[in-house]
Amino acid sequence: MMTVPEINAVRKHLKVSFEFFPPKTEKMEETMWRSIHRLAPLNPSFVSVTYGAGGTTRDRTHGSVTRIQGETGIPAAAHLTCVGHTKEEIDQIARSYWNEGIRSIVALRGDLPDAGDKYEPTPGGYAYAVDLVAGLKEIADFDISVSAYPETHPDAPSSDFEIDYLKRKIDAGAKRAITQFFFDNETYLRFRDKCVAAGIEAPIVPGILPVTNFASLLKFADMCGASVPQRLHWRFEGLDEDPDTRRMVAFHEAISQVEGLISEGVTDFHFYTLNRAELTYAICHALGIRGTEQVAA
């Protein structure tokens, strides 16, 4: 455990990034843009926009990414996946992003449109994320993020395989890894230690998911293999129809998790906002991340 002066030194170097998903309706789009403009003054390292399973949100992802960077000036990172596209199609998308000033990509294998289907590489496409990273670096000097799974990807045969594959993605040109969300800090810290032991020097950025809807969280967790501690079941029990209390509990859980990671020397955090700004903004404020506008005031 770090000393108080050491923890305070870490706080001076805190950096955050935010993730959004392409909205499906006009109302959802209004909510997303209100959230983006609410969070933009916090000066995140970047804002990323997800890519639907099988590339189903390609145009909406592209539109959101270019608009975010154009309106806010914040570096926008486009998610790009292997599923459903040939190499030529992906290369064309990547060149288009580069030509429009987008320099950051989150390179992923991607999910199939039908969640229960077994993954098979798209004929003529990049087979896996490591291949996509290498291909993107041949096109241009993108700032590339990749995924990491402290609790092991559902398709990975073992945790050792997970770490070995992550190292291959970093060696191929990725600059950082962003983890799947987790709620047990020890799980992340053990994973980070194993990555360091394997020779991975790139940052392993923890993905933080403030809980806005516990029932939805359970579905997300089941799909990606993330565990949900019993304490969360207990603390969110009976709050489905009590949004105010639910938000207070969610804030306490998230800020406690982040504070615990800071005490272990973690400086970078990636927030899965689910297109809502309230909890993420409150957490950042409590951490002392106020942005230039707030500091000037």
Pairwise CA distance, residues 191 & 149, whole Å: 8
Pairwise CA distance, residues 150 & 143, whole Å: 22
Using the structure block, give the residue that is written with the tokens 């770090």: 2
Pairwise CA distance, residues 66 & 60, whole Å: 10
**Residue 135: φ, ψ to 5°:** -65, -40
Tokens representing 170? Answer: 């970093």
Q: DSSP for 179-226, please give it.
A: EPP-S-HHHHHHHHHHHHHTT--S-EEPEE---S-HHHHHHHHHHHT-
Neighbours of 20 (CB within 10 A): 25
Instruction: Answer for the pair 247, 255: CB distance below 8 angstroms, yes or no.
Output: no
151 is catalytic: no
Residue among 185, 177, 205 at smallest CA distance from 268: 205
Tokens representing 98? Answer: 């580069």
Pairwise CA distance, residues 108 & 207, whole Å: 15
* Options 19, 151, 162, 253, the catalytic residue: 19
Residues labelled catalytic: 19
